[in-house]
């Protein structure tokens, strides 16, 4: 970065007293060499006054040399503490996040005291580039006072977020903190309130991604909870409002940190997190990947990538005809369908481990980023339940906020029945899907792959709820109920009479079901009503989606009322 502390002249002065001293990397971090105490304060003062004998170098004030040495020593200390736990330092994480030599730090020594040997606060803030586009970042440094939040840290984060909103660029938070600094009391807690307010102001305006790379407890958990995506790792990541020790004292329950709020728990059970990284490098790489699909702000269009179709697309189109079984009760993996439709078969899942009867994620169609929503017949027949409903709704809202078209692939038997679902709030939580689709104003294209029954047909991107273009495969079934369920209700008396007369009830039920399927459980009525725009062969799916997106490229947002905001189900 462009900082005299990391300039070649300053580093040369620091390196001269001790052979083999460490050097400073692209993010201002120590990248190699053994630990060295470096020059003393007196040595730094002498070094700063030398000029002509050292090749005409300009004099560097002793305070600058002192600051540079503090920065180097701080990174040495951070490396010792973090590496022992299998974790990267905050600056090493920045090196992984940003394109090479693009990080520009702001307020490096803010909150520090150079004369008293304090290098700075427990958070690093600045800007860098991810795939050539500017991104703001704050990275908590656990090696400094446990990464705790105090006045200086809060002020730095708020200043960064204000700049990010002014510049209309994403914010990435690297979380590794012991929470509010107890010594500062309410002053520390207040900083969380300031950050909450700014996070809410930025919500839906600029992308916000949180990486949990260490502890995140108490009120601090609501900083990432308010952002668009949360990424955790299998080791070292923890999030919880109340820690294991307090739980044991208050309830008597004994639970480990991982069992309470580890990465797997929040990815597979609570749904708080959206991706589980194998390690820190994997988690950071996922954040870079997601940013590649999103625009810098809601005022911008998503990036466009060069793409040329060829033989691979033709082969993928042919495979589509063989993936979905004719038997509507036979499962298949909808990911196979998605990969045959999107560019290069590349699909970046979100919430992969949570509510797996639905699949959501990012992909490209003809070089243009899109959001994909699909039912997963491999898991509980692709049914909508309380968790999958919230998963779908949140993702559709994310896509709508950041101008990504939504592609919906439907194969759903309905909402999951049962008292457990009713008591868990299937009405309230299922309504979130309706609210998300009905309010979305981005281009929306829906393809019914096999079946769409009952209310689930309506909410999964139907034309009635606001989708722009709707298509169906020839074997698709659209009805209030499947044939078996419908026959049991419609012909209940006929079946009872047949049983009393000694006739073969199963044979009669099959005949009635076949007739119901022929006359009712198909897409014909939807076609006739205009709810389906066209029946397409599976091989045409990608081509039709491409054409639809080109047609809808000029779609614009229009305010429908003068209301302040909606009051959707929460």
HEC per residue, 168-202: CCCEEEEECCCCECHHHCHHHHHHHHHHHHHHHHH
**174: in domain:** yes
What separation, in Å, do the N-terminal and C-terminal C-alpha atoms of the chain show? 44
C-alpha 128/C-alpha 123 separation (Å) is 16
Structure tokens at 569: 């189900």
C-alpha 5/C-alpha 104 separation (Å) is 13
Set 33, 345, 454, 455: catalytic member: 455
- 217 catalytic residue (yes or no): no
Q: What's residue 271's pLDDT?
A: 97
pLDDT less than 50: residues of the chain: 18-54
- 188 catalytic residue (yes or no): no
**47: in domain:** no
**35: in domain:** no
- Tell me the per-residue pLDDT of 224-276, one tens digit each, with 9 for 90 and over: 999 999 999 999 999 999 999 889 999 999 999 999 999 999 999 999 999 99
Q: Is 129 left (phi over 0), alpha (psi -120 to 50) or beta?
A: beta
Task: Return the C-alpha torsion angle 548, 551, 556, 562, nearest 10.
Answer: -60
**Do 260 and 384 lie in a common domain?**
no
Q: For the whole model, what pTM was predicted?
A: 0.87
**51: in domain:** no
**Do 122 and 187 lie in a common domain?**
yes
Residue at a domain's end among 246, 267, 293: 293
Structure tokens at 287: 């954040």
**16: in domain:** no
C-alpha 417/C-alpha 206 separation (Å) is 38
Set 456, 479, 498, 513: catalytic member: 456
Residue at a domain's end among 293, 322, 351: 293
**Do 503 and 432 lie in a common domain?**
no
**Do 516 and 533 lie in a common domain?**
no
Structure tokens at 503: 């006739």
**513: in domain:** yes
**298: in domain:** no
Q: What's residue 66's pLDDT?
A: 67
- 219 catalytic residue (yes or no): yes
**Do 322 and 366 lie in a common domain?**
yes
**What CATH number should be reported for the domain holding residue 240?**
3.90.226.10
**Do 368 and 432 lie in a common domain?**
yes
**Do 431 and 516 lie in a common domain?**
no
Number of residues that this document lists for the chain: 570
Set 219, 243, 454, 485: catalytic member: 219
Q: What's residue 44's pLDDT?
A: 39
**Do 365 and 388 lie in a common domain?**
yes
- 554 catalytic residue (yes or no): no
C-alpha 122/C-alpha 128 separation (Å) is 19
Based on the structure, what is the number of domains in the chain? 3
Answer for the pair 448, 476: CB distance below 8 angstroms, yes or no: yes
**Do 235 and 141 lie in a common domain?**
yes
Set 111, 154, 218, 430: catalytic member: 218
* Residue-range definition of the domain harbouring residue 495: 485-520
**Do 497 and 537 lie in a common domain?**
no
**Do 470 and 508 lie in a common domain?**
no
**145: in domain:** yes
**Do 411 and 274 lie in a common domain?**
no
């Amino acid at each position: 970065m462009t900082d005299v502390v990391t300039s070649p002249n300053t580093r040369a002065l620091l390196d001269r007293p001790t052979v083999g001293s460490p050097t400073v990397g692209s993010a201002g971090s120590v990248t190699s060499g053994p630990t060295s105490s470096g020059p003393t304060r007196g040595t730094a003062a002498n070094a700063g006054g030398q000029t002509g004998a050292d090749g005409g170098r300009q004099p560097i004030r002793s305070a600058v040399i002192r600051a540079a040495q503090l920065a180097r020593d701080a990174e040495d200390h951070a490396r010792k503490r973090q590496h022992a736990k299998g974790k990267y330092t905050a600056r090493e994480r920045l090196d992984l996040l940003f394109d090479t030599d693009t990080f520009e730090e702001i307020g490096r020594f803010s909150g520090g005291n150079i004369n008293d040997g304090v290098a700075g606060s427990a958070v690093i803030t600045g800007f860098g580039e991810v795939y050539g586009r500017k991104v703001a970042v704050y990275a908590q440094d656990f090696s400094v006072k446990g990464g705790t939040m105090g006045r200086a840290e809060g002020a730095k984060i708020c200043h960064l977020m204000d700049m990010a909103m002014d510049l209309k660029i994403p914010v990435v938070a690297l979380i590794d903190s012991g929470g509010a600094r107890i010594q500062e009391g309410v002053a520390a807690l207040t900083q969380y309130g300031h950050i909450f307010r700014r996070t809410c102001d930025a919500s839906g305006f600029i992308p916000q991604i949180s990486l949990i790379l260490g502890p995140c407890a108490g009120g601090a958990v609501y900083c990432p909870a308010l952002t668009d995506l949360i990424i955790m790792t299998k080791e070292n990541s923890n999030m919880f409002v109340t820690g294991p020790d307090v739980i044991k004292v208050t309830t008597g329950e004994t639970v480990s940190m991982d069992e309470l709020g580890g990465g797997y728990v929040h990815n597979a059970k609570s749904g708080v997190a959206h991706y589980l990284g194998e390690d820190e490098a994997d988690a950071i790489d996922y954040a870079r990947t997601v940013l590649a699909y999103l625009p810098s702000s809601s005022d911008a269009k998503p990036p466009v990538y060069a793409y040329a179709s060829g033989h691979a697309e033709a082969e993928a189109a042919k495979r589509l005809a063989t993936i979905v079984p004719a038997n509507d009760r036979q499962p298949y993996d909808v990911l196979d369908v998605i990969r045959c439709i999107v560019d290069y078969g590349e699909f970046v899942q979100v919430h992969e481990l949570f509510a797996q009867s639905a699949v959501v994620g990012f992909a490209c169609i003809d070089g243009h980023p899109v959001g994909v929503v699909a039912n997963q017949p491999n898991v509980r027949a692709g049914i909508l339940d309380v968790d999958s409903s919230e998963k779908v709704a949140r993702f559709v809202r994310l896509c709508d906020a950041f101008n990504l078209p939504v592609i919906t692939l439907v194969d759903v038997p309905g909402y999951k029945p049962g008292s457990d679902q009713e008591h868990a709030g299937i009405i309230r939580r299922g309504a979130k899907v309706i609210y998300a689709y009905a309010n979305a104003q981005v281009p929306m294209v829906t393809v019914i792959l096999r079946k769409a029954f009952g209310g689930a047909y309506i909410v999964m991107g139907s034309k009635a709820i606001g989708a722009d273009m709707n298509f169906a495969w020839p074997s698709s079934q659209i009805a209030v109920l499947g044939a078996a369920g419908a026959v049991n209700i419609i012909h209940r008396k006929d079946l009872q009479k047949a049983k009393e007369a000694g006739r073969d009830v199963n044979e009669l039920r099959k005949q009635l079901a076949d007739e119901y399927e022929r006359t009712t459980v198909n897409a014909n009525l939807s076609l006739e009503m205009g709810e389906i725009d066209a029946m397409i062969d599976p091989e045409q799916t990608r081509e039709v989606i491409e054409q639809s997106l080109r047609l809808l490229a000029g779609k614009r947002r229009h305010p429908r009322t003068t209301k302040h905001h909606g009051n959707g189900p929460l």
